[in-house]
């Protein structure tokens, strides 16, 4: 009798623990859904590029989307087709590879490729760039060629220079040559996404799944008892 009661108590406890785990997972996904709706707040202060990241390391999370400034000279020019800006417009962007004063290099989105013929800079000219530092892209939008980037990622140009490369790229707000701003159409950076992976409704669907599983776990003992009574 005591053994039977203990077995039943352990069974009930096991069911409650499993159900509570599923409920907890549902609450966790509900919180993730709420967090995914919170807009990303970015520090708008312009800082030197070298003060928040370094070449040959992964872009620090705290450095992403910061406004940076640095100087150097352009040593290569690339097309980046099928890029989508913050206004939802798709176009081919001009991406320059800039050698910084510290003898490293970073990719800079200068503007639309359609404007590049009128704004070719001599490789000896020192340019000061101000812009938003973005994480490198992961998805290919086309095929890469020598002067075409399938995505904006310094890993694609590592074989074209001996310089140490920065991870990520900069969307230029302005470029100044000898103190004079270079006037051209600039790219509107894509809106920052939430730091929480996934989508709002995706997280809510997981909430439904986990809580449904909790309901199933709680219902099974009653279902089993009903089946046993019918067999008797």
Q: Output the DSSP codes for 45-86.
A: -EEEGGGT--TTSPPPGGGTT-EEEEEEEEEEEEEEEEEE-T
- Per-residue pLDDT band for 91 (boundaries 50, 70, 90) equals very high
Distance CA 219, CA 184 (A): 66
pLDDT of res. 2: 61
Burial degree of 154 (CB within 10 A; 0-12, 13-18, 19+): buried
Name the E strands within the chain: 46-48, 67-84, 90-100, 104-112, 127-134, 164-177, 180-181
pTM of the model as a whole: 0.71
What is the rounded average pLDDT for all residues in the chain?
A: 86
Under DSSP, the state recorded for 33 is H
pLDDT tens, position by position, 181-224: 988 899 999 877 665 566 777 888 888 898 888 888 888 877 67
Return the closest-CA partner of residue 66 out of 54, 88, 48.
48
């Amino acid at each position: 009798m005591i053994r039977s009661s203990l077995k039943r108590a352990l069974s009930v406890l096991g069911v409650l623990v499993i159900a509570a785990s599923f409920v907890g997972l549902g609450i966790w996904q509900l919180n993730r859904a709420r967090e995914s709706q919170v807009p990303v707040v970015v520090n708008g202060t312009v800082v030197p590029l070298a003060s928040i990241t370094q070449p040959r390391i992964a872009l620090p999370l705290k450095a992403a989307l910061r406004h940076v400034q640095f100087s150097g000279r352009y040593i290569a020019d690339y097309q980046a087709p099928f890029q989508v800006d913050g206004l939802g417009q798709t176009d081919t962007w001009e991406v320059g590879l800039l050698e910084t004063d510290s003898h490293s290099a970073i990719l800079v989105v200068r503007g639309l490729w359609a404007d590049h013929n009128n704004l070719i800079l001599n490789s000896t000219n020192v340019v000061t760039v101000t812009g938003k530092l973005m994480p490198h892209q992961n998805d290919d939008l086309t095929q890469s060629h020598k002067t075409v980037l399938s995505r904006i990622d310094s890993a694609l140009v590592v074989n074209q220079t001996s310089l140490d490369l920065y991870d990520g790229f900069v969307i230029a707000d302005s470029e100044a040559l000898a103190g004079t701003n270079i006037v051209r159409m600039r790219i509107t950076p894509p809106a920052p996404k939430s730091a929480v992976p996934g989508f709002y409704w995706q997280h809510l669907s997981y909430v439904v799944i986990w809580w449904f599983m909790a309901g199933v776990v709680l219902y099974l003992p009653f279902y089993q008892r009903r089946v046993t009574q019918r067999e008797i």
